[in-house]
Amino acid sequence: MESVVKKSKFTAKRLSAIVLLITIIIISWVIFEVIVRGFSVVQQQYGIDPAMFLKIIIGAEIFFDLGVVLIILGSGALKLRFRHIFNLDFQNITFDNKLVYTGFTINRIAAFIPPVYLVFAGWGKLPILVFILLLIEIVFTLFITIVPFEGIKIFKAIK
């Protein structure tokens, strides 16, 4: 029972790190292309409007952070005191309420939108490596979204 939960947490952390790395690579690529080639060339060659992409990134970041805040508020983590943290006493934290689920949903949608925009805007124009990285990021984002819910089902079935 504990190994399933630990394994899903480990896998989610690893996948989260991979998604972050892919996101950094893709954003760095877009910034590099804009600096070297300019806005109009990037839009013509790849079909991606850098100003629109920047707006999407800023909006996604706001909603991503809003989701995290809702998760923290709904879980009861703000009620923890230092003695709870030092004693590793996290019994009062619960992730099974509507506020946490809402925050998680908002967070995952915000993580999903930027790579989807790049795939659709640059369809057929993006370099194949960037396109593959974007698809990998989309798959990992979906996987990170699904794993916690499946983990809860497995945990409840074992109980």
> Which pLDDT tens digit goes with each residue over 95-147?
678 888 888 889 889 989 999 998 888 888 888 888 888 899 899 888 888 87
- Which pTM value belongs to this model? 0.62
| 8 A C-beta contact, residue 1 and residue 154 | no
Domain locations along the chain: 2-158
Whether pLDDT at 65 is above 80: yes
DSSP category for residue 87: T
What is the mean predicted confidence (pLDDT) over 74-78?
69
Distances (CA, A) of 108 to 24, 50, 112, 147: 17, 23, 6, 12
pLDDT of 5 reads 45
Q: Is the pLDDT of residue 6 over 80?
A: no
